[in-house]
Amino acid sequence: MNMWDMNNSLDLHRLRDVFLYDHDAPMLFSSGLFLWLFAAFFVVYVLLQHRQTARLLFVTAFSYYFYYKSSGIYFYLLALVTVGDFLLARLTAHEQKLWLRRLWLVMSVLLNIGLLCYFKYTNFLVDFVASLTGGTFRHYDIFLPVGISFFTFQSLSYTIDVYRRQLTPLTNLLDYAFYVSFFPQLVAGPIVRARDFIPQIRRPLFVSSEMFGRGIFLIMIGLFKKAIISDYISINFVERVFANPGLYSGVENLMGVYGYALQIYCDFSGYSDMAIGIALLLGFHFPKNFDSPYKSASITEFWRRWHISLSSWLRDYLYISLGGNRHGKLRQYLNLIITMFLGGLWHGASWNFVLWGTFHGIALALHKMWMTVTGRKKGAQSHGLRRLLGVLVTFHFVCFGWIFFRNTEFASSIEMIHRIVTQFHAELLPQLIAGYPAVFALMGVGFLLHFLPDSWEEGCSRTVIHLPLWGKTLLMLVLVYAVIQMKSAQIQPFIYFQF
């Protein structure tokens, strides 16, 4: 084979890789492939700015391609949910008989939750039944499509809102397909409500200089959080500690827990920042999904700041449906525990997630009880030393929960806690920091940036917004160079891709 043929073969190979799904290299916002594809996508998107239907078709097609590159042939599930809920919502809206409206809603719930249960919980449920009956558990080889928890919840919220008469159903399937599949938030949220997003679909495309600058800023901080802080401390420290907690002292285990708290925050909020930023570049507004959650002085405040789109979804469609606080205090506490129990199960088919969710449900109920006993009003803010103590207690409770969230085996969680309590050895901390200088430097930077006043972030955002285009481009190139220098050889998927 001559050099010309070899070059042609390599080019065809690269071109094939662009279009074919690779299980070991899913499409990520932080990958070089996506950055190049998005640049090309954005050019076509701008050229179609005055051709609305063509633009919607183009974005929807790209979204399905994006999902195919994330989950392979399972994009058909996205299409099934889209067409099914579109038709069921229209049937619900036009039906006057209450029992038939409820029937269409139940069918939508069965469609979405049924798919979720099959792909996510089949092995978990079969294993649970086998353990109760003494039978033999046979593991089924079922692939978990990326983002199925997100797009099923998003589509289900649409049919529920239509059933509640809070939303008029769409008459155009393309509009609904655009809403459900919109690629910035398709595979890991935020869970965008139809009533917030659908009114934006047919508006004339408009991206102000502030939206563009804000979008670039969010993409940069999201990339910094994910590809520099989260990935580096995960690969070089956190994974090692959680893999074998018994090999490390208590102080090393505790630092590993602190590292994971920062890792999961930077990983998930980084994805949300990039999703919100990309949407802004395309002329769409997404709600904020994280609001410095480790600044919270209570567990209730934490859930107002952490994964806001999921916590508000659980509140509006599960907690309120269970009765909320309308049937007395004891019922309210039980509803909180049930909601968080199911919220934990939403994260994965494993008892560690169930335990984690139950911990948080009990903590929320106890905090509500404490608020009732002390007479403090909802939303009341503490100040000074009292708030500082509240932040410390809340942060460490959340970190305690992360131990069970991160470890797949209950025994590993107990081992980690045992090492922290009985084999702490604080004198090893200087040696530990000296052994992992880059890890602890990044952890220090990550927590420092997290606890800075919100006005500092807003100031940085304004600075980027007012930079000329060449300045924004230079900043992005510097960040991409830093990512290339620090990235590992192995692709690091976003943590919430597994949910």
Does 26 share its domain with 62? yes
Tell whether 7 is covered by a domain: no
Please give the model's pTM, rounded to 2 decimal places: 0.89
pLDDT of residue 430: 92
What does pLDDT average to over the chain? 86
pLDDT of residue 185: 85
Per-residue confidence band for 301, with pLDDT thresholds at 50, 70 and 90: very high
Does 222 share its domain with 191? no
Does 97 share its domain with 214? no
Question: Is a pLDDT exceeding 60 seen at residue 5?
Answer: no
Q: Which of 182-196, 217-231, 351-365 has the lowest mean pLDDT?
A: 182-196
Angle, in degrees to the nearest 10, between helices 384-406 and 250-281:
90
Tell whether 287 is covered by a domain: yes
Tell me how far apart the alpha carbons of residues 452 and 226 are, in angstroms, rounded to a whole number. Answer: 19
Tell whether 233 is covered by a domain: yes
Catalytic residue numbers read: 347
Q: What is the pLDDT of residues 82-116, one digit of tens each?
A: 999 999 999 998 888 888 889 999 999 999 999 88
Tell whether 12 is covered by a domain: no
Tell me how far apart the alpha carbons of residues 213 and 463 are, in angstroms, rounded to a whole number. Answer: 9
Q: What is the pLDDT of residues 272-292, one digit of tens each?
A: 999 999 999 999 999 899 999
Q: What is the pLDDT of residues 414-431, one digit of tens each?
A: 999 999 999 988 999 999
Does 124 share its domain with 253? no
DSSP states along 292-359: -GGG-SSHHHHHHHSSHHHHHHHIIIIITTTTTTTT-HHHHHHHHHHHHHHHHHHH-SSHHHHHHHHH
Does 191 share its domain with 215? no
Tell me how far apart the alpha carbons of residues 274 and 391 are, in angstroms, rounded to a whole number. Answer: 27
pLDDT of residue 14: 55
**With contact defined as beta carbons under 8 Å apart, do 423 and 365 qualify?**
no
Tell me how far apart the alpha carbons of residues 12 and 29 are, in angstroms, rounded to a whole number. Answer: 24
Does 394 share its domain with 481? yes
Tokens of 16: 């094939």
Per-residue confidence band for 6, with pLDDT thresholds at 50, 70 and 90: very low
Tokens of 434: 């000296």
Does 36 share its domain with 147? yes
Does 192 share its domain with 215? no
Tell me how far apart the alpha carbons of residues 314 and 339 are, in angstroms, rounded to a whole number. Answer: 7
Q: Average pLDDT for residues 293-299, to the nearest whole number?
A: 94
Does 36 share its domain with 139? yes
**With contact defined as beta carbons under 8 Å apart, do 281 and 215 qualify?**
yes
Question: Is a pLDDT exceeding 60 seen at residue 11?
Answer: no
Strands (E), 236-390: none
Does 118 share its domain with 163? yes
Tell me how far apart the alpha carbons of residues 220 and 29 are, in angstroms, rounded to a whole number. Answer: 11
pLDDT of residue 18: 62
Count the domains in the chain: 2
Q: Which of 166, 201, 236 is the last residue of a domain?
A: 201
**With contact defined as beta carbons under 8 Å apart, do 123 and 143 qualify?**
no
Q: Which of 181, 201, 221 is the last residue of a domain?
A: 201
pLDDT of residue 124: 77
- The single-letter code of the amino acid at 263 is Q
Question: Is a pLDDT exceeding 60 seen at residue 214?
Answer: yes
Tell whether 8 is covered by a domain: no
Does 228 share its domain with 116? no
Tell me how far apart the alpha carbons of residues 181 and 178 are, in angstroms, rounded to a whole number. Answer: 5
Tell whether 447 is covered by a domain: yes
Tell me how far apart the alpha carbons of residues 120 and 349 are, in angstroms, rounded to a whole number. Answer: 6
Tell me how far apart the alpha carbons of residues 192 and 184 are, in angstroms, rounded to a whole number. Answer: 11
Tell whether 390 is covered by a domain: yes
Q: Which of 176-185, 265-274, 323-332, 378-387 has the lowest mean pLDDT?
A: 378-387
Tell me how far apart the alpha carbons of residues 378 and 23 are, in angstroms, rounded to a whole number. Answer: 47
Does 115 share its domain with 246? no
pLDDT of residue 24: 61
Instruction: Give the residue with greater pLDDT, 80 vs 481.
Output: 80
Q: Which of 160, 182, 201 is the last residue of a domain?
A: 201
**With contact defined as beta carbons under 8 Å apart, do 384 and 359 qualify?**
no
Which range marks the domain in which residue 32 is found? 18-201
Within 10 angstroms of residue 183's Cβ, the number of other Cβ atoms is: 25
Question: What are the distances in angstroms from CA 200 to CA 181, 287, 361, 440, 459?
Answer: 15, 13, 35, 43, 28
Dmax (CA) of the chain: 83
Nearest partner of 310 among 348, 277, 343, judged by Cα: 343
pLDDT of residue 10: 45
Tell whether 481 is covered by a domain: yes
